[in-house]
Structure 1
Amino acid sequence: MADRASNELPVLIVGSGNTGLALAQGLRKAGIQCTVFEKEALQARERDWNMGLHWGAPVLKSLMPDESWARIQSIQVDSHVPTKDEDTLSFVQGDTGETMVAFTFGPFYRLRRSKLRDLLAQELDIQYNKRLSDITYADDRRSVTAHFDDGTSATGRMLVGADGARSTTRQCLLGPDHGAINRIPYAATFVQRQFSTEQALFLRKFHPLFLASAHPGNHFAFFGMQDAADLDNPSSWTFFFYISWPSSLDEQDATADWTDAQRLAQQKEFAKTFCDPWKSAYEWTPDDAPVWYMGLTDWDPGLDGHRWDNHGGLVTMVGDAVHPMTYQRGQGLNHSVTDAGKLRDAIIKIREGGVQKDIITAFEEEMIARGGGEVRDGTANTMLLHDWEKVQQSPFFTKGMKKNE
């Protein structure tokens, strides 16, 4: 009776990012009750960006309802550009625009983060304004309870931390030191901007979706679409671009209070030695335009001291909560939805009578090996992309978007 009672409890998912929502949809599809808890308010406005989905696409499709996956084209940065079976990405030299390498892969989806979240949130039980503060476990090890800052709690058969790179779940499991995000000496400032029709058409001619470059000044840069809802009105298109650079932790701390204007002025100075589209895009961006800045971070689940106790399979983590990685090779979303798919499969095995501790531990070991390897590869990639003498050794240059084997 105790096993039956615990199996009737929901799976508790902490975090309503794309990973947590994809997992919740997969569980819903499998007939497994779950509840998602989100620390922000329902109408909270977060920064939006776009993400590459490629080798992880079949897993995401398996998690989503068929009618939702049928809408995947509508949530791309430009829904009017059909997803190709194969597409070619050119990696250019930042000062000359010459192609350094080009690789073909596909299918490749460039998805708006906000639109993917909205699509994945459909028909789910999501509770907002629920900030996790503690996790406790029943004495009989058959249930787990999430405690929230507002004094409420929820009990389930399992708790899954899908609460992002600065995961509270991870800190609950490992403490503030081992669970803290790791800062690395690189930074980027991001711009999202609309331009005149003539300017927009000029900027977009370099690639309809995105372009990447390495610069001899030890900079990496990205330029692409963020939103092209109105095909016939280029002045309504939003472009998304940034230049990243080596930045010591001391520099990051010293500039922590910089204004948007200071951040943008720094980017504009970098861009003076870049080719188009970066050169013109920054010149045409007003000095008072809003931007956002980010020091790069990672967290390697394979490091000593980073293996958490899953308390008999009652608690685990997925996505950026367990393997936050740098973004220059576009692997994060693919690994995160793979986590969600594999955990969905694991929970189904438990429902069918498998031993929860053994199944969840096996799930975690595969995820730690796969995701941890990508974290290390991603950080090495970031370092090499910002070192002109070694850029051709970078995984981005040698592997493109291919999955690590």
Structure 2
Amino acid sequence: MGIFTRICNAAKASGSSTPSELVPTATVLIVGAGSTGLALAQGLRKAGIPCVVVEKQSGLDSHSRDWNMGLHWGASALRSLMTEDMWARIQTVQVDPSQPTAPKDALNFMNGQSGETMAVIPVQNFYRLRRRKLRGLLSEGLDIRYGKNLRAIKYSSDGKRVKATFQDGSTMSARLIVGTDGARSTLRQLVLGPKSGAIRRLPFSATFVQARFKPDQARYLRKFHPLYIAGINPAGFFSFFGMHDAPDPDHPEQWTFFFYISWPSSLEEQDETASWSNAERLKQVKEFAKSFTDPFRSAFEWLEDDHPVWYMGLTDFDPGADGHRWDSHGGRVTVAGDAAHAMTYQRGQGLNHSVTDAAKLTEAVKMFVSEKKSQQAAIAAYEEEMITRAGGEVRLSTVNTEMLHNWAKVLQSPVLTSGMKPPSDS
């Protein structure tokens, strides 16, 4: 039973019922139950450090939308945060649990128009993980409170604690609050202000699809690669096509594929089309797909005209940019994952940096809890390393996105010249 649960039970036993009367306390309060926050919580739990995770949604599965993520050089960091029993089940959260992770693998980049292979990017231990399943695995044994939408934070005058206040009026105090609440982080905007803490919009957009197909169609689409393939189109488009869920390798009608097309799109165009319907988004991306070869062309062509899609403009947040350095108030507040460094996804780095944040922040907390370092020094060291490492990747990934959509510069793009290695190895 976690510390939060014990306090909640005590409050109920004493007759307290209003949200404002419930004031739980923990060493670390994690705001956001995404992959980063849950991985951090597992690392702290493994170290015996009390923590509570709060999440604004009503549950882990409250959103119908799901996606998958690539884990490669960050795998050792994630493993360090999990128990051996939990890591032994990592295969169960793969997009296709029947496909073992190869020690040496490659991501193929093809000319999206001609089908010619442009590059074969080597990658070791390339896991393709379903976000929903990963979160389910990482949530085991944790103290998670749902429906907690952060409203404000306040620092104690003695320099030792920080209190979070939520939209329902309840509060919680901790020695450290960590924002892992995503690219549009509320905590980041609280510590930096709404302007400096805002996400930066980029002149690129993408439309995503998840779909099942008839058995013969599914087998045909998967023959290009059992898990993933990328297409760079000379017309200025980029596409990724891959498996999202293959519960039974012998039943292709049950396979769910995940694919998208991204393209240059000015902020003015994004604003002008903000009210477009699903049908308009689908019609647009189907038209883009006509300039592609297979598997991209057929995958979009075979969609019904009312098939659901989701659209988004690309964004980033560079923690190393001017005006983006927050005050940790003596090491009492910090951010991690997308909340700290939202990045574009064509180089496949996001999850790797996020779980690395979680591992390094776990070590920082252990340092100040054991009094080997002051809290301020431990968090400052974490932030300095994270900002250098992940901030560099934000900038590199944005340059990569720009180049992948510019045929004259494609061959100089970071993903084709340096692969998917972290910036320090590129």
Q: TM-score range by the shorter chain?
A: over 0.9
Structure 2 SS opposite 1:229: coil
Paired position in structure 1 for 2:242? 224
| Residue in 1 that maps onto 2:160 | 142
Say whether residues 1:36 and 2:58 are aligned partners. no
Matched with 2:290 is: 272
Check whether the contact 2:393–2:422 (CA below 8 A) recurs between aligned residues: no
Counting matched residue pairs gives: 398
Say if 2:164 and 2:173, in contact at 8 Å, map to a contact too.
yes
C-alpha displacement of 1:67: 1.1
Which residue pairs with 1:388 in the alignment? 407
* Deviation of the 1:138 alpha carbon: 0.6
Asked if residue 17 in structure 1 is aligned to residue 34 in structure 2, the reply is yes
For residues 318 and 283 of structure 1, what CA distance do their matches in structure 2 show? Answer: 39
- The superposition leaves residues 37-65 of structure 1 with CA deviations (integer Å, 9 ceiling, x where unpaired) of 00010251241000000000001001012
CA shift digits 1:199-224 (9 cap, x unpaired): 00000000010000110100000000
Q: Deviations over 1:321-354 (max 9, x none)?
A: 0100000010000000000000000000101112
Contact 2:26 2:52 in 1 (8 A): no
For residues 88 and 19 of structure 1, the distance between their equivalents in structure 2, rounded to whole angstroms, comes to 26
Runs (5+) with no aligned partner, structure 1: 1-7
Q: What SS is found at the alignment partner of 1:171?
A: helix
1:5 paired residue number: none
The structural deviation recorded for 1:403 is 1.6
Moved over 3 A (4+): none
Q: Deviations over 1:172-224 (max 9, x none)?
A: 00101000010000000000000000000000000010000110100000000
Q: Tell me how far 1:271 sits from its aligned partner.
A: 0.7
- Partner residue in 2 for 1:164: 182
Aligned pairs for 1:3-402 within 5 A: 9-42=26-59, 43-353=61-371, 354-402=373-421
Cα deviation, residue 284, structure 1: 0.6
Q: Which runs of 5+ in 2 are unaligned?
A: 1-24
Within 1, Cα distance between the matches of 2:30 and 2:376? 18
SS of 1:339 mapped into structure 2 = helix
Alpha-carbon shift at residue 9 of structure 1 (Å): 3.5
CA RMSD of superposed structures (Å): 0.8
Alpha-carbon distance in 2 for matches of 1:246, 1:168: 28
Offset of 1:10 from its aligned partner?
Answer: 2.5
What amino acid is aligned across from residue 313 of structure 1 in structure 2?
G
Deviations 1:83-132 (A, max 9, x none): 00001221100001100011222111000000000000001000000000
Q: Name the % identity.
A: 60
Distance 1:395 1:302 in 2: 20
Q: Displacement of 1:231 after TM fit?
A: 1.5
Whether the 8 Å CA contact 2:39–2:358 is kept in 1: the answer is yes
